[in-house]
Structure 1
Amino acid sequence: MKALCWEGVNKLAVENVPEPVMRNDQDMLVRVRSSTTCGSDLHLIGGYIPAMRAGDVIGHEFLGEVVETGPAVRQHKVGDRVVVCSFIGCGRCWHCANDQWSLCDNSNTNPGLAQAAYGYETGAVFGYSHAMGGFRGAHAEYVRVPFADYGAFPVPDEVDDVSATFASDAAPTGWMGADLGGVGPGDVVAVWGCGAVGQMAARAAMLLGAEQVISIDRIPERLAMTREHIGSEVVDYTATDVGAELRERTGGRGPDVCIEAVGMEAHSPGPQHWYDKTKQALRLETDRASAVREAIHACRKGGSVFVLGVFGGLVDKFPLGAVMNKGLTLRGAQQHGQRYIPMLLDRIAAGELSTRHLATHEMSLDEAPRGYDMFKNKKNGCVRAVFHPDGG
């Protein structure tokens, strides 16, 4: 079958690879109908995530049609249209039972590196390095889905393929940031990043009752899209002092909840960006954390900061003193998608949550390397490229 493979740092190619086979009685085989790029994939492509091997199939955000089920699969049948959570959860360990699906104890079959880096293993992710389980990714014609009854969800007839694809990762990730960040009625929320996840976090904050939502980015097309489709206020961080702007817009207090949706390759104006970029290139730090620093400094005293962007290891100049002295609550997580996906599909079907506009470019799987080039370099207003293995 055809699949998009990582062949080295900044090298992608569509290759012919063996079709997946069933390995366990809880497995399911899915024919992919659509998959999408994700900002966290750029960390893989750029060589910032360890344990990648040439030939690894990438991609983790997808929708497809069931073509085979294992004997223990009870919730799905051949022909069902399903969206699959990017994180794989067993459904039975303590973390899954407590809706902390990305922390599953049993899905990551190669936990050693995560244990060394973080103290405990994480859950597994489709197409996201051997440190995260080594599972083949979704930029392919077919995918094996382990623990299928827990990770795959039927798509309502009213929801089109592309809209539903974003319920695999972007929408639940954004919603989790607003939910676990503690957004409530009347809050002021600031979101760093106007990519797909940032837009979903902003919309989630609105639906959870926030009185004012302010989204921060530097790309004109993304700022305009967020204003038009999400309804958030926007700030171009290259045109103003973000901290001063947020204080001005909040009566001097600062946002109640700050959500960072950028991750380990954040940009920032001025010399700080080159300092971080140089240290990251020399591996003196693994992640550029300028957006996290800004969120911590901008958040009101006693407020909440939630880190949604993917970070791999260590950052420099982390403002721990501000966290402690301002009495902030600091949280972060990879997405617990199984907790949110059914609800989000219902909201998409009801018209409460729009995701279709995120797919600025649709193309065949054969064009995936070009799609990632546009996505990475933000060409032609690309927010997300969506791939259709059948040619779309």
Structure 2
Amino acid sequence: MIQEILGLTKETSTSTQPIYSGDMMKAVLFGGNKCVEVKEVPRPKVTEPNDAVIKVLASTICGSDLHLYHNAIPEMKKGDILGHECVGIVVAIGSNVNTIKNGDRVVVSSVIACGQCENCKTESFSLCDTTNSSGLMEWSYGQKTAGLFGYSHLTGGYPGGQAEYLRVPFADINCLPISEEKLSNDILVLLSDVLPTSWHACELAEISNEMKVGIWGAGPIGLMTARWALLRGASPVIVVDKIPSRLEAARSIGCLTINYETQDPLKVIKETYPRGLDAVVDCVGFRYAKSWTHAIERTLKMETDSIDSLSECIYCVKKGGNIAIIGDYLGYANHFPIGAMMEKGLTVRGGQLYCQKYWKKILDMLVSNQVDPSFLITHHYNLEEASEAYKLFDEKVNGVLKVILNANQREE
């Protein structure tokens, strides 16, 4: 709708538009604000020679899926299939697919890359030039970034992985074959997004030994970023949030914590570390306003994004320090402390994950038991129970961190 009003080109890439087999499958569909529905929809089949079709075994609900759940991302359409994190079994491949075969268990990247463009060749896979034909994104940001599964027509309109089957374009680059039988689907599905995104956060912030690190947001991404930071030798690692169970999870892996509802993070950090933190990571994003100012302005559509957390990051990091923005931001925000950012000489970097760049390295660490992310997984639901799972995850109750949706539980 927005693209039509602005006279922009709709998605036209043939790799976006699936061809259906005539068989049916269950999938989690966007139904509007705080509404998801599980319905029977046509099952995809191989459309292009570089496609694969995956029988999904497990998917997850991501924190960024809640932006869709709250109808906060433009270009969502009722009936769109949700989900961008999944693991499954290959059931069909196109004639040009070489690195996977039918029967392989594979992790699917949340970011859809072509593997051949200039950005893909430099392993900047989320900046792929090929896989997203959204005119609205180009109009909004100046250039288009990569397509994403199940994440609105702003990112290409690809059907997502919260379904019994998924078509994967450019399968050689977007599927990671798994031969290690000891790794569960619960752990492997984290390779789609959580593990490489949090590793990417540490790369952006250049976190290394003995650095003092602050992490805003104790969701799965924030907690795993903290875990990676500790593994890299950072000390201390301070996690800022307000949910007691999540702060306890941060303490359980060796972090210090600040509950921003009872303590002022800036005051605590300045009193404890007068020079400021070496690096900070914003894992919160645009939809969570702490101040009345941003809450009111977002409600009145005077801005799309709240930057309360990012502003705190800017004030708490040391002069010459590093800031990584890994929480999702969408459009524009008021009251941005650009003066502090410039005068303090900060390095600020952001961006979606380079999944394919990191996942083999992370897989090796999982196999060798260098890292265990199982503490993130708290709840399991069958695909048919997605509405209940989304509600739980959105309300952040009962200690919820990562919710696994199990697919293909019925007999074929």
Out of 268, 271, 278, which is 1:256 matched to?
278
Kept after mapping to 2: 8 A contact 1:83/1:154: yes
**Equivalent position of 1:208 in the other structure:** 232
Q: 1:27-68: per-residue Cα shift (whole Å, max 9, x none)?
A: 000011111111111111111110111100010011111111
1:289 partnered with 2:307: yes
| Number of aligned residues | 385
Residue 157 of structure 1 deviates from its aligned partner by 2.2
Q: Which runs of 5+ in 2 are unaligned?
A: 1-24
1:380 partnered with 2:402: no
Residue 185 of structure 1 deviates from its aligned partner by 1.7
Residue 282 of structure 1 deviates from its aligned partner by 2.0
**Equivalent position of 1:219 in the other structure:** 243
**Equivalent position of 1:48 in the other structure:** 72
- Aligned CA-pair RMSD: 1.2
Q: Name the amino acid aligned to 2:264.
A: D
**Equivalent position of 1:190 in the other structure:** 214
Output the TM-score relative to the length of structure 2.
0.91
Out of 225, 230, 235, which is 2:258 matched to?
235
Residue 181 of structure 1 deviates from its aligned partner by 1.1
**Equivalent position of 1:169 in the other structure:** 193
Kept after mapping to 2: 8 A contact 1:111/1:122: no
Superposition map of 1:21-36 within 5 A = 21-36=45-60
State the distance in 1 between where 2:117 and 2:91 align. Answer: 28
Output the TM-score relative to the length of structure 1.
0.96
**Equivalent position of 1:346 in the other structure:** 364
Residue 376 of structure 1 deviates from its aligned partner by 0.5
1:314 partnered with 2:339: no
SS at match of 1:18: strand
Residue 238 of structure 1 deviates from its aligned partner by 1.2
Kept after mapping to 2: 8 A contact 1:91/1:150: yes
Q: Name the amino acid aligned to 1:18.
A: P
State the distance in 2 between where 1:347 and 1:254 align. Answer: 32
**Would the alpha carbon gap of residues 66 and 249 (structure 1) be closer, same or farther in structure 2, given more than 3 Å must change?**
farther
Residue 233 of structure 1 deviates from its aligned partner by 1.6
State the distance in 1 between where 2:29 and 2:314 align. Answer: 37
Out of 341, 361, 385, which is 1:323 matched to?
341
**Equivalent position of 2:375 in the other structure:** 357
Q: Which runs of 5+ in 1 are unaligned?
A: none
Q: 1:241-280: per-residue Cα shift (whole Å, max 9, x none)?
A: 1012123333x11111100001111242xxx2x3212211
More off after superposition, 169-178 vs 209-218: 209-218
State the distance in 1 between where 2:233 and 2:50 align. Answer: 39
State the distance in 1 between where 2:395 and 2:122 align. Answer: 39
SS at match of 2:44: coil
Kept after mapping to 2: 8 A contact 1:19/1:142: yes
**Equivalent position of 1:84 in the other structure:** 108
SS at match of 1:301: strand
Residue 154 of structure 1 deviates from its aligned partner by 2.0
Out of 162, 176, 184, which is 1:153 matched to?
176
Kept after mapping to 2: 8 A contact 1:363/1:391: no
Out of 330, 350, 357, which is 1:332 matched to?
350
State the distance in 2 between where 1:358 and 1:184 align. Answer: 23
State the distance in 1 between where 2:271 and 2:358 align. Answer: 34
Q: 1:5-32: per-residue Cα shift (whole Å, max 9, x none)?
A: 0011221110111101111111000011
SS at match of 1:373: helix
SS at match of 1:31: strand
SS at match of 1:72: coil
More off after superposition, 364-373 vs 208-217: 208-217
Residue 205 of structure 1 deviates from its aligned partner by 1.4
Out of 196, 205, 211, which is 1:181 matched to?
205
State the distance in 2 between where 1:212 and 1:322 align. Answer: 24
State the distance in 2 between where 1:207 and 1:92 align. Answer: 33
Residue 284 of structure 1 deviates from its aligned partner by 1.1
Out of 6, 9, 15, which is 2:39 matched to?
15
Superposition map of 1:264-303 within 5 A = 264-268=286-290, 272=291, 274-303=292-321
Residue 158 of structure 1 deviates from its aligned partner by 2.6
Percent identical: 38
State the distance in 1 between where 2:213 and 2:281 align. Answer: 8
Q: 1:105-132: per-residue Cα shift (whole Å, max 9, x none)?
A: 0011x32111111000010000000110
SS at match of 1:149: helix
State the distance in 2 between where 1:342 and 1:245 align. Answer: 39
More off after superposition, 341-350 vs 31-40: 341-350
Q: Name the amino acid aligned to 2:161.
A: A
